[in-house]
Chains A and B, each alone.
Chain A
Amino acid sequence: MAADSARDLEDEMRRIPAIWGVALAATIVLSACGGSSTGGGAGGSTANVPDTIHLGAALPLTGADSTPGKFVKDAYELYIKQVNDAGGLAVGSKKVKIDLKIEDNKSDAATSGQLYEKLITQDNVDLLLGGYNTTTVTQEVKVTNRYKMPYVGGGGASSSIYADNQWAVGLLASIEKLATTQLEFIKTQQDAGKLPKPLKIAVAYENSSHGKEFSAGIKAGETATPDRFKIVLTEAFDLNGKDYTSLLNKVKDAGADAYMVDARVNDYITMQTQYKQLGLYHKYLTYGPRGPEKAAREALKDSSDYIIAATWFDSQQPGDNVKKWLDTWKTTGDSPEWYAAGAWESARILLAAIQKAGTIDKQKVRDTIFSTTWDNSIFPGGSIKFDSKTGQATNDYVMTQNTPNGARILIFPKDQSTGTPTIPFPQTK
């Protein structure tokens, strides 16, 4: 064996120059194919509108976020197909085709940063559509700012993403606002005498920036109005947990009126199953933005009844825009989850901004995106406006409550509601 290794070593040493040649050749070929498009990207802004506008996005098509990733992809493609089928986007006097290049970032932030950089520097896309997942979007926003590229996304809600940002906009209002919205709703129920004052709250959140901001939002509510809210327990838990009984027993001991959780879909399913098995009861129960997802309702059946959620979009919202979108979305055969709606709106706003600016000049498109109030939105409130400093939308959330037989109603804000909330939750058995 030892002699073998010595021979191998000698052998390898001898063929190294040959290997080197191959390596160099490979690198040069690589460089050449990359180098051909050198010099594009950040510069080269022309006021002239090309025949085809190139857009780019890197999405989590595989890995942990592949389910929402697919929704986002379908929504982008559907919107652009609609525009192209109608002859293209009217910019000035010209009709231009839209081309979208989508890459797979494997649900990894580092890969996504690399791919957005590639879309900008190698594929020379004109403008960017956004990705999905807080950390991934944070990395993407860094890249778009470095290359000064407009970026419109509906897949990242943490306000930490938009610190120190000038070029990206996000359609999702912050998670803190998600928590605050729920507290606002609770206030109306307190005033109606349906929930006690102060409301004793147990908070559990997934250990992610999403969860942290949710918890911070509730904490802020307690500080502002201590006569209404009293947090009796705050716990963070790991993603993809398996056994929540010990945590739930702590929650039980805390004797709270309300249990407010922030979790992902599969953790929500696991925890709620065990919550019911342990026979826990609260007057008010929420999993943050989770609750009415099709997968969860099918997995949990009546165990998910009455759960309250606050989301950025719900297909039951009133209004013609939403109805029209639902008709269009039907062709995909998928359920109309909020990620699809967010992506659809991102594509709509980006193209509308090009149209309004009459150019693909990056600075002008960016300024248009930031300064315009985007009407005809399917998001709650019917219009979207981005904060001029951070670029994050400040839209209202819409709150839903699951009802028996897999249905749900909208309960907040008042002008959107489609039914009377059942609060406090009925006690089973």
Chain B
Amino acid sequence: MSRLRLSRRTLLLLQAGLLFVFAAGLALIPILDERSFNLQRIVFNLLWYAILASAWNIVGGYAGQISFGHAAFLGLGAYVTGILWSQTGVNPLLTLPLAGLAAAGYAVLVGVPTLRLRGPFFAIATIGVGEATRLFFVNFDDIFGVTLTRGVTGISLPRFDPVDVHYATIGVFVIVMLTTMYIRAGRFGIGLFAINMDADAAETAGVPTARLQVIALAISAFFCAMAGTLYAARQQFLDPATMFGFDKSIAIVLMPVVGGLGTVWGPVFGAILYSTVQDQLSSLVRNPYLPAVIYGVLLVVIVMFEPLGVAGVLGRGGRMARSLIRPRGEVS
């Protein structure tokens, strides 16, 4: 172990610093070229997926509780914003914290009973939660006899300046990344990883497993809902099938798994891969079903051979490169 070791603190600061530089660079885009619609669009897609993937990773990757129902939080956030905006005309970006809190509250409500479930049962419960939430919003107006969600017709929203959304998206992304970095490095994160390894042992060792998991789910839901707000402000139209759709929940799971489950930057890689394939590559493939087959195969391969996904592959590459430069004996 003769190689240079940076302290944890330095590493964290280094990452945070790079994150800020990156964010500042992205923030400059509309200032440097106000007609950079395409770049703004690409940045939005990328960060939007990265926010969702990183948020999911807190509970799915760190704590190891796989949720197939995160679209519930995404949709809830979007609808909180959509309803407040269309009913009161409030600036949608001001509803960001409200949407987040609503979803966090919902996460606690759902999480307290379901997170007690061990093994695959939490995952199955979340499928139920996701679908029930979607159907609840489909039938919301009929159940309560009001006109708020407009059921399957969806909520049509006014126009909003996409440049403002651009800045807000960068802001939310930075906050999410700082949060995941902080959790990963801190006591809270270690607790979640202990639960991931062996929940019973963690409990015995004095880790308040139930509380930590619920908090993790609430934080995760908080950020997913913010992504929902950003979507509403930018795309101006919400309907239950799109916002609460099971395919959204699946995409949210796929990105971190492909990118690197439980790593800080894995979900971001997953989001880059996912949004690039969806955006740039789908029109190049002759048969439109091929990408889905490839995703499936990729998932099987990753689960069987490289559970750390893209991040794991990069890590191996890094280790290999290092072992090439260094004399063999020195490698620990």
The answer to whether any beta carbons of A and B sit under 8 Å apart in the complex is yes
How far is it, in angstroms, between the C-alpha of A164 and the C-alpha of B33 when the chains are bound? Answer: 29
* Min C-beta distance of A135 to chain B, whole Å: 5
A5-B197, A158-B153 known; A114+B265 contact, CB < 8 A: no
A23-B265, A23-B272 known; A111+B37 contact, CB < 8 A: no
A13-B11, A207-B152 known; A30+B242 contact, CB < 8 A: no
Q: Answer whether residue A106 sits at the interface, using C-beta atoms and an 8 A cutoff.
A: yes
Q: Answer whether residue B164 sits at the interface, using C-beta atoms and an 8 A cutoff.
A: no
Interface residues of B in 287-325 (CB under 8 A from A): 288-289, 292, 308, 311, 314-315, 318-319
How far is it, in angstroms, between the C-alpha of A427 and the C-alpha of B189 when the chains are bound? Answer: 71
Task: Assess the A30–B46 pair: CB atoms within 8 A.
Answer: yes
Q: Provide the residues of chain B in CB contact with A114, threshold 8 Å.
A: 41, 45, 278-279
Q: For A31, give the chain B residue with the smallest CB separation.
A: B39
How far is it, in angstroms, between the C-alpha of A43 and the C-alpha of B282 when the chains are bound? Answer: 26
Q: For A141, give the chain B residue with the smallest CB separation.
A: B237
Task: Assess the A139–B242 pair: CB atoms within 8 A.
Answer: yes
How far is it, in angstroms, between the C-alpha of A35 and the C-alpha of B43 when the chains are bound? Answer: 11
Q: Provide the residues of chain B in CB contact with A102, threshold 8 Å.
A: 283
Q: Provide the residues of chain B in CB contact with A9, threshold 8 Å.
A: 184, 193
* Min C-beta distance of A69 to chain B, whole Å: 9
How far is it, in angstroms, between the C-alpha of A85 and the C-alpha of B187 when the chains are bound? Answer: 69
Q: Answer whether residue B36 sits at the interface, using C-beta atoms and an 8 A cutoff.
A: yes
Task: Assess the B14–A17 pair: CB atoms within 8 A.
Answer: yes
* Min C-beta distance of A204 to chain B, whole Å: 15
How far is it, in angstroms, between the C-alpha of A38 and the C-alpha of B38 when the chains are bound? Answer: 6
Task: Assess the A34–B39 pair: CB atoms within 8 A.
Answer: yes
* Min C-beta distance of B145 to chain A, whole Å: 15
How far is it, in angstroms, between the C-alpha of A12 and the C-alpha of B265 when the chains are bound? Answer: 10
Task: Assess the A23–B11 pair: CB atoms within 8 A.
Answer: no
* Min C-beta distance of B78 to chain A, whole Å: 10
Task: Assess the A35–B39 pair: CB atoms within 8 A.
Answer: yes
Q: Provide the residues of chain B in CB contact with A164, threshold 8 Å.
A: 156
Task: Assess the B156–A163 pair: CB atoms within 8 A.
Answer: yes
Q: Answer whether residue A77 sits at the interface, using C-beta atoms and an 8 A cutoff.
A: no
Q: For B242, give the chain A residue with the smallest CB separation.
A: A109
Q: Provide the residues of chain A in CB contact with B280, threshold 8 Å.
A: 33
Q: Answer whether residue B247 sits at the interface, using C-beta atoms and an 8 A cutoff.
A: yes
Q: Answer whether residue A294 sits at the interface, using C-beta atoms and an 8 A cutoff.
A: no
Q: What is the 8 Å Cβ interface bit string for chain B, positions 174-195, against chain A (1 contact, 0 not)?
A: 0000000000110000000110
The contact of A109 among B36, B41, B142, B237, by CB within 8 Å, is: B237
* Min C-beta distance of A1 to chain B, whole Å: 5
Q: What is the 8 Å Cβ interface bit string for chain A, positions 96-140, against chain B (1 contact, 0 not)?
A: 000001111010111101110110111000000000000100110
Q: What is the 8 Å Cβ interface bit string for chain B, positions 31-63, against chain A (1 contact, 0 not)?
A: 001011111011101100000000000000000
Q: What's the dominant secondary structure at chain A's contact region?
A: helix
Q: Answer whether residue B91 sits at the interface, using C-beta atoms and an 8 A cutoff.
A: no
A27-B46, A142-B235 known; A41+B38 contact, CB < 8 A: yes
A12-B315, A19-B311 known; A110+B235 contact, CB < 8 A: yes
Task: Assess the A104–B272 pair: CB atoms within 8 A.
Answer: no
Task: Assess the B153–A212 pair: CB atoms within 8 A.
Answer: yes
How far is it, in angstroms, between the C-alpha of A158 and the C-alpha of B152 when the chains are bound? Answer: 12
Q: Provide the residues of chain B in CB contact with A109, threshold 8 Å.
A: 237, 239, 241-242
Q: Answer whether residue B146 sits at the interface, using C-beta atoms and an 8 A cutoff.
A: no
* Min C-beta distance of A263 to chain B, whole Å: 14
* Min C-beta distance of B317 to chain A, whole Å: 9
A23-B272, A30-B276, A135-B242 known; A18+B288 contact, CB < 8 A: no
Q: Answer whether residue A2 sits at the interface, using C-beta atoms and an 8 A cutoff.
A: yes
How far is it, in angstroms, between the C-alpha of A40 and the C-alpha of B38 when the chains are bound? Answer: 9
Q: Provide the residues of chain A in CB contact with B14, threshold 8 Å.
A: 16-17
How far is it, in angstroms, between the C-alpha of A208 and the C-alpha of B247 when the chains are bound? Answer: 18
Task: Assess the B318–A18 pair: CB atoms within 8 A.
Answer: yes
Q: Provide the residues of chain A in CB contact with B243, threshold 8 Å.
A: 110
Known interface pairs A15-B314, A31-B43; 11 further A-B residue pairs with C-beta atoms within 8 A, sorted by A's residue number: A16-B14, A16-B15, A19-B314, A20-B15, A30-B272, A38-B35, A110-B242, A110-B248, A138-B156, A158-B153, A164-B156
Residues of B near any A CB (own CB < 8 A): 5-6, 8, 11, 14-15, 18, 22, 33, 35-39, 41-43, 45-46, 135, 138-139, 142, 151-154, 156, 159, 162, 184-185, 193-194, 196-198, 231, 235-237, 239, 241-243, 245, 247-248, 263-265, 268-269, 272, 276, 278-280, 282-283, 288-289, 292, 308, 311, 314-315, 318-319
What would 19 A/B residue contacts be, using CB atoms closer than 8 Å? A9-B184, A12-B311, A12-B315, A14-B6, A15-B318, A19-B315, A38-B38, A39-B37, A61-B288, A62-B292, A103-B283, A108-B245, A108-B247, A110-B231, A121-B41, A135-B154, A142-B156, A160-B153, A212-B151
